[in-house]
Amino acid sequence: MRRDIQAAGSTVSQLDLARLQFAMTSIYHFLFVPVTVGLGFLTALLQTAWHRTGLVDYLRLTRFFGILLLINVAVGVVTGLVQEFQFGMDWSVYSRTVGDVFGAPLAMEGLAAFFLESTFLGLWVFGWDRLSRRVHLAAIWAVALGGALSAAFIMAANSWMQHPVGYAVNPTTGRPQLNDVWKLFTNPVFLRGYLHVLLASVVTGAVVMLAVSAWQLRKGRAPLVFHASARLSLVVLVPTILVAMLVGSELGVTEGKYQPMKIAGAEAQWTTCQPCSFSLIQVGGGKNDQTPTKIIEVPHLLSLLATNHWNGKVLGLDTVNSQYQAQYGPGDYVPNIFIQYWSMRVMAYLAVVVLLVGLWGLWLLLRRRLSTAKAFQRVATWLVVLPFLMNTAGWLLTESGRQPWIVQGLQLTRNGVSPSISTTTVAISIIVFFVLYAALAVVEIVLMARYARREPAAAPPTSEVPQPAPAY
């Protein structure tokens, strides 16, 4: 932020507020997206289980978690609208400059994913008694597919901001123009980033399902039913978080190649090192204090994480900054180190906690003690907070780590902001969205808590849901 003040003079507060607004609305939106994607997938699995086995417990679970899914979708969808409009509102120069490339995946997202997700969600919610069981099952899978597709397009767009590919700069306008659309979808940052986001979403959905099931098991309501959902969530959670961590680590290596600042910043590594150690905790290390006190150091670990090599070389922040100054002109190209260092650690440390709790649960499951393990049930309920912190930290790491660029190497964030918007205008908008989002958060939490603690509806009314019978 300090850099922007020095560089941008009078537009400073508008730029800061525009950034704050984007950060606030994106973080908020992304609290709901992973639940929607993850829980959508798991609800589809539950309904498939009902379809295959005919066991009414699975139907009860499908409807139970279906409501939680819908409460989330409602907020996720409407806050997504803000995202779609905000590029033009706050970042008009950015939109004008890169729309040729960046707009294409967004348009495809609407056509390929949003229509699918929204239309089939309506069919699923209201179609229990209007569609055949098979078509109704297909509807929930279409919803899940729509969510996953939507994430693919938005990640392709975002990955282009991290590592622009598939374009050429038009010599007349000076603007990047798309010249190879496949490159957007084979961008190495996209391939790993998308997989990582998808897996993180499934982790989020699985933890939500586990937390609710654990609470219900502890209260002893419908123990057989919620044992089934606890089992499903654990079986999905443990392998998924393991793979998510591995893919995340690979993503780090890839980003380190194209955005060395991001990775050096995550370790507050000011000087180039080889081999490089990793500090579990450190004090200091910011811009004004480049010699941090590392509390616990693990030798070679940073080299391994950043380059996949035991003795890999990691470029220091000062080194990269000098390179960038030679390449792009004078300036400070170092992102906020505090955010980089801690968001990376919050994400990684909490992932380990989730993994360990998941393994604990699996062990209890194998020993057939899941229903009676009160301590685990208590811990698993509170585990629900962690994926949200991890998801937020992950985005902070990747987006703050891109700064001061809005598109790496192509446009600085401060050059992308709308010139026609006053500070007051953005301030009004932030206040409006803050108040509205806070109110929605309260309603959402109240409703989620209310519906997560209800007993699952016993047997559905026959007029609405065909009894499980060998109809076909």
**Which parts of 35-74 interact with other proteins (CB under 8 A)?**
63-64, 66-67, 70-71, 73-74
Q: Which of 28, 41, 50, 120 binds other proteins (CB under 8 A)?
A: 120
* Part of the chain binding other proteins (CB under 8 A), chosen from 172-180, 204-212, 372-380, 395-403: 172-180
Q: Is 406 helix (H, G, I), strand (E, B) or coil?
A: strand
C-alpha–C-alpha distance, residues 73 and 34, integer Å: 10
- In whole angstroms, the minimum distance from the beta carbon of 176 to other proteins comes to 10
Site residues (CB under 8 A) for other proteins, limited to 179-238: 179, 181
* Part of the chain binding other proteins (CB under 8 A), chosen from 291-299, 350-358, 363-371, 456-464: 456-464
| Residue number with CB closer to other proteins (173 or 311) | 173
Site residues (CB under 8 A) for other proteins, limited to 399-418: 418
* Long-range contacts, 176-184 (Cβ 8 Å, 24+): 176/97, 176/98, 176/100, 176/101, 176/407, 176/410, 177/100, 177/101, 178/100, 178/101, 178/104, 181/104, 184/101, 184/104, 184/105, 184/156, 184/157, 184/159, 184/160
**Percent helix, strand, coil in the chain (nearest 5)?**
70, 5, 25
101 binds other proteins (CB under 8 A): yes
Number of residues that bind other proteins (CB under 8 A): 78
- In whole angstroms, the minimum distance from the beta carbon of 367 to other proteins comes to 34
432 binds other proteins (CB under 8 A): yes
* Part of the chain binding other proteins (CB under 8 A), chosen from 126-134, 190-198, 327-335, 362-370: 126-134
**Both tokens of residue 344?**
């990376």
421 binds other proteins (CB under 8 A): yes
* Part of the chain binding other proteins (CB under 8 A), chosen from 94-102, 244-252, 378-386, 392-400: 94-102
93 binds other proteins (CB under 8 A): yes
SS (H, E, C) 441-457: HHHHHHHHHHHHCCCCC
CA 44-50-54 angle, to 5 degrees, is 165
16 binds other proteins (CB under 8 A): no
- In whole angstroms, the minimum distance from the beta carbon of 442 to other proteins comes to 12
130 binds other proteins (CB under 8 A): yes
> Residue for token digits 């961008």?
187
78 binds other proteins (CB under 8 A): yes
126 binds other proteins (CB under 8 A): yes
Would you say 217 and 377 are in contact if contact means Cβ atoms under 8 Å apart?
yes
* Part of the chain binding other proteins (CB under 8 A), chosen from 30-38, 273-281, 341-349, 431-439: 431-439
CA 162-166-169 angle, to 5 degrees, is 90
Q: Is 130 helix (H, G, I), strand (E, B) or coil?
A: coil
Q: Is 293 helix (H, G, I), strand (E, B) or coil?
A: strand
178 binds other proteins (CB under 8 A): yes
87 binds other proteins (CB under 8 A): yes
Q: Is 417 helix (H, G, I), strand (E, B) or coil?
A: coil
